[in-house]
Structure 1
């Protein structure tokens, strides 16, 4: 089968791999229809390298059930499915408490286990969600990143009438803008250096946008629009925004970290004092799963896709073949091509 295998930093190869086989009675083989590039994939490709050299990369996907183990009852051959790519151990204290996001041995396919940048992938049956007829495969490939956003927002006090600032308008930030409006936020302010991404943010629900520049601070621009927001979401994963996000909330407000900076973070006194003097609540959010597994993050996303309330198409900037994978990774990480959500289309 065709695949993208990750061998080292900036070393992603399109090559033939053996089709996965059922190993456990609860296993399911999925014929992949669409798989998406996550921002974390780009960072690992450029900066960190693979956990298992030569492993099939990728963890966001949708597909069709190809084969099932003897104990599988929730899906059958031919079912259209979305995938939860997180693999919990089920044995540690966190898992026993139903706190699956804190599983001591939590894995995501595409890291140590084969991922979904391939014609086929293998997962436990409990990791699959059957798709309603009106939810397309390309929409379903974005269920996992949407669930990442919801996992964080569910920790906050976000409710109707609140104000929200979102720093960074990649896939996660754009989904955060949408979900904030779906939660009933009165005003959502999107912040990004890319004018095209800000345009998409407005299309997906942002009421105001801020494009940072060297002459006027983002904080000043934000204060022209509001006297402080109830919730500030860091979705860029940059050192700069991980500091600036503390300036956005009003007294008693909240900060939610969804982005993952791959560098050290320092806080100027002004930003640190905002945490203390504004009595901010700061949330860290990791992964997308909860109890009952895979969690309400996934089922809520699926419900809102089914009802047509969550929009994913405007975020999809590329839909390409798997063979084009190594080149698109090179282009994006070297700045030669701009992209929002890149999907690989398989089994055309």
Structure 2
């Protein structure tokens, strides 16, 4: 089969590789229809991370069941599916306590085992979820990042009528905005320095957009909220700078949830750090998208909300390319050859 395989920093190759086969009783082989490029893929492409040289890459995708093991009963060949790429061991203390996102042996396909940037991929049965015909394959490929955003907000105590600020309007930030709306937020503030991302944020449900290049984000937010701040602040930019600045956004007693990963040391000025203590903030780290019972309500709710059209991811999708153009797409994205939202790769073209 054809696949995108990673060999080194910025060394991604479109080449022929062995197709996966059903070997275990709970195996499901999926014919990939659409695969999405994740921000973590871009980071690994530039800086590497956990991977095996020559590994088939990618973890956001949708497809059709090709073959199943003898114990698989919930799907059959020909069924349309989304897939949770996270492999939790199920036997460590965290898994047994119902926190698979904290699994001691957590892994994701596309790092140390073959992923979804290919014509076929393979997962255990419990990682594969049927999707209704009302969800297109393009949209179904965004079930995974949608579940990531939902997982983070589920950690908070956000209630209908609450207020949310999202710092960083990349794909996870945009999906956090959409979920905040579905959670019933009465006001959603989108913060980014890129006007095009802020425009997408408005399409995804943001009520107010803030560009901190004009005036500091917390100053603008304070003015807009009469000095209160918001109930929940989401850090989804993943930069060392914003990882400190986010603490100035919540109200007293408010919450901060980190969904971005800063690939560098975070130095927090006293002004921002004191907000944690003096405002008695609650701070959450959000990792991956799974909960118990595995893979969790993040997945079932995402599929349900997509099926009704309440969760509309269409505005995020800016590019749809053949899989064979993957190496060039990654090069162009990191060198900012265009404005990129969610980029989808099609192995069938």
- Please, what TM-score do these two structures have when normalized by structure 2? 0.98
| TM-superposed deviation, 1:50 | 5.1
Q: Could you tell me which residue of structure 1 aligns to residue 215 of structure 2? A: 216
Query: CA separation in 1, counterparts of 2:337 and 2:126?
Result: 40
Please report the RMSD computed on the Cα atoms of aligned residues, expressed in angstroms.
Answer: 1.0
- Which SS does the other structure have where 1:154 is aligned? helix
Q: Could you tell me which residue of structure 2 aligns to residue 340 of structure 1? A: 341
Q: Could you tell me which residue of structure 2 aligns to residue 27 of structure 1? A: 27
- Please, what TM-score do these two structures have when normalized by structure 1? 0.98
Q: Could you tell me which residue of structure 2 aligns to residue 259 of structure 1? A: 260
| TM-superposed deviation, 1:336 | 2.4
Query: CA separation in 2, counterparts of 1:170 and 1:153?
Result: 16
Q: Could you tell me which residue of structure 2 aligns to residue 326 of structure 1? A: 327
Query: CA separation in 2, counterparts of 1:50 and 1:275?
Result: 32
Structure 2: give runs of 5+ residues left out of the alignment: none
| TM-superposed deviation, 1:201 | 0.8
- Which SS does the other structure have where 2:72 is aligned? coil
| TM-superposed deviation, 1:96 | 1.7
Q: Could you tell me which residue of structure 2 aligns to residue 229 of structure 1? A: 230
Q: Which segment is superposed worse, 277-286 or 48-57?
A: 48-57
| TM-superposed deviation, 1:197 | 1.1
Query: CA separation in 2, counterparts of 1:342 and 1:192?
Result: 20
Query: CA separation in 1, counterparts of 2:277 and 2:152?
Result: 22
Q: Could you tell me which residue of structure 1 aligns to residue 12 of structure 2? A: 12
After the TM superposition, list the runs of 4 or more consecutive aligned residues in structure 1 that deviate by more than 3 angstroms.
none
Query: CA separation in 1, counterparts of 2:273 and 2:57?
Result: 38
Aligned positions, number:
347
| TM-superposed deviation, 1:346 | 2.3
| TM-superposed deviation, 1:156 | 0.4
Q: Is 2:175 the counterpart of 1:175?
A: yes
List per-residue Cα deviations over 1:224-275 (Å, max 9, x = no partner).
Answer: 2112111100001011111110000110000000001100001000000011
Q: Contact 2:324/2:347 (CA < 8 Å) preserved in 1? A: no
Query: CA separation in 1, counterparts of 2:157 and 2:293?
Result: 22
Query: CA separation in 2, counterparts of 1:55 and 1:345?
Result: 19
| TM-superposed deviation, 1:317 | 0.8
| TM-superposed deviation, 1:298 | 0.1
Q: Could you tell me which residue of structure 1 aligns to residue 244 of structure 2? A: 243
Query: CA separation in 2, counterparts of 1:108 and 1:33?
Result: 19
